[in-house]
Amino acid sequence: MPAADFRALYQRLRGQAQWGPDDRRGALNHITPARLAAAAGEVRAGRTVTMAAPLATSAADNPEPGARHMKSLPGEPSDVAGLTFAADQLVMNIHGDVDSHIDALCHVSYDGALYNGIASGAVTSKGASELSIEEAQDGIAGRGVLLDIPRLRGVRWLEPGDQVTAAELAAAEAAQQVRVSPGDLLFIRLGHRLRRQELGPWDVPRSRAGLDPRAMDFVADRQVAVLGSDSNSDAAPSTVAGVAFPVHVLAINAMGLYLLDYLQFEDLAPLCEAAGQWSFLCVIAPLRLPGGTGSPVNPIAIM
């Protein structure tokens, strides 16, 4: 896509995100109380399913992987009377490749500004004074919808580099008999997690399936509140001249749309298939990290 076309797309999408100059919630505004209350009606079978992958502590496809260290072990001498504790420490880069996380609206700067024209200088070495993940401190709950693109195409997964178009999203809706509606949390399965399980890690930073940037018109038209995938929504390499992560720019920066990267739908998709139901109550609970640019998450589908 030529740079001029991308810029026009950016301007159009930004123009549709109109919640006033003081807005900090972006597309979360699409989740109204009535829509959330209705989403609770999606719970039928009474079961929960994870949409996250386990923390990856190897460097196979992440040059700076997360880690967990033990701080105390059961059975060791201890100054705690009568019992011993097992305790550990967590270290992780929030946006590390292949770890499931949510991007806050401060995550992407474009043309010197964050979402809604807030100056990039709002983020310093101390963190974000505006648009941090604390804007979502009360969690994000609503109707989740999973669109399964490999199912639509009759393949096991999309190959790295491939892009999903708006037309395919609409076709997946039809195939799955579900319609993405205002306030929905939209999840798009590309099969990358299954590919990784079966073929092993690859150079994800350089080679990913993702969305055609023009598919963001579909996302905006349907008034989607949150977008997630089992890749990071952006294909690599980018097909937009001069912009490496066009979907991130459009979603986070122009539309105020939280992205969830590197999720995992291998548990959820079979249950949806079996139930013939591709919608569910979905709850995303970012950690409360003041100034944070995002958070590790384990989004839960409740069916």
Judged by CB under 8 A, the chain residues 89 through 128 that form the site for its own copies are 89-95, 100, 106-110, 112, 114, 120-121, 123-128
In whole angstroms, the minimum distance from the beta carbon of 16 to its own copies comes to: 20
In whole angstroms, the minimum distance from the beta carbon of 248 to its own copies comes to: 7
In whole angstroms, the minimum distance from the beta carbon of 278 to its own copies comes to: 18
Q: Is the bond leading into 21 cis (omega within 30 degrees of zero)?
A: no
Name the one range near its own copies by CB under 8 A: 13-21, 33-41, 158-166, 187-195: 33-41
Q: Is the bond leading into 2 cis (omega within 30 degrees of zero)?
A: no
The reply to whether 57 sits near its own copies by the rule CB under 8 A is yes
The reply to whether 302 sits near its own copies by the rule CB under 8 A is yes
The reply to whether 1 sits near its own copies by the rule CB under 8 A is no
The reply to whether 182 sits near its own copies by the rule CB under 8 A is no
For the chain, what is the radius of gyration of the CA atoms? 20
Pair 251, 175: CB distance under 8 Å = no
Q: Which of 8, 40, 174, 275 binds its own copies (CB under 8 A)?
A: 40
In whole angstroms, the minimum distance from the beta carbon of 164 to its own copies comes to: 21
DSSP state of 52: -
Q: Which of 11, 139, 159, 197 binds its own copies (CB under 8 A)?
A: 139
Which residues, numbered 253-292, are part of the site for its own copies (CB under 8 A)? Answer: 253, 267, 281, 283-292
Name the one range near its own copies by CB under 8 A: 19-27, 135-143, 190-198, 225-233: 135-143
What span, in angstroms and rounded, lies between the C-alpha atoms of 236 and 163? Answer: 9
Residue 3 or 174 with smaller CB distance to its own copies:
3
Strand 140-148 versus strand 185-189 pairing type: parallel
The size of the interface with its own copies (CB under 8 A), counted in residues, is: 108
Which residues, numbered 212-251, are part of the site for its own copies (CB under 8 A)? Answer: 238, 240, 242-246, 248-249
- Read off φ and ψ for residue 30, nearest 5 degrees: -70, -20
- Read off φ and ψ for residue 41, nearest 5 degrees: -70, -10
Amino acid at 126: K
Name the one range near its own copies by CB under 8 A: 56-64, 188-196, 206-214, 221-229: 56-64
Which residues, numbered 63-82, are part of the site for its own copies (CB under 8 A)? Answer: 63-65, 67-77, 80-82
In whole angstroms, the minimum distance from the beta carbon of 99 to its own copies comes to: 9
Q: How many CB atoms lie within 10 A of CB 182?
A: 14
What span, in angstroms and rounded, lies between the C-alpha atoms of 55 and 57? Answer: 6
What span, in angstroms and rounded, lies between the C-alpha atoms of 104 and 93? Answer: 14
- Cβ neighbours of residue 175 closer than 8 Å, sequence gap 6 or more: 151, 152
What span, in angstroms and rounded, lies between the C-alpha atoms of 57 and 243? Answer: 30
Residue 122 or 171 with smaller CB distance to its own copies:
122
